[in-house]
Amino acid sequence: MNEVRSSIIVKGSVSGKNVTVAGVNNVTNVNIQEQLPPAESVDIKKEIAALKEILAKIETPERKKMDRALEDAEEEAKKDKPDKEEIGGALERVMKYAKLSDNFAKIIGVLKPHALSASAWLGENWHKIAGMISM
- Of 20-24, 51-55, 70-74, give the lowest mean pLDDT range: 20-24
Residues 68-80 have a mean pLDDT of 97
Q: What per-residue confidence (pLDDT) applies to 13?
A: 46
Read off the pLDDT of residues 19-31 as tens digits, 9 standing for 90 and up.
Answer: 555 666 666 555 4
Contact assessment for residue 126 and residue 119, using Cβ atoms and an 8 Å cutoff: yes
**Domain regions of the chain by residue span:** 39-131
Q: Which residue has the higher pLDDT, 88 or 134?
A: 88
What digits encode the pLDDT tens for the residues 40-49?
999 999 999 9
φ/ψ (deg, to 5) at 107: -105, 0
Q: Which tens digits make up the pLDDT trace of 104-135?
A: 989 999 999 999 999 999 999 898 888 888 65
pTM: 0.74
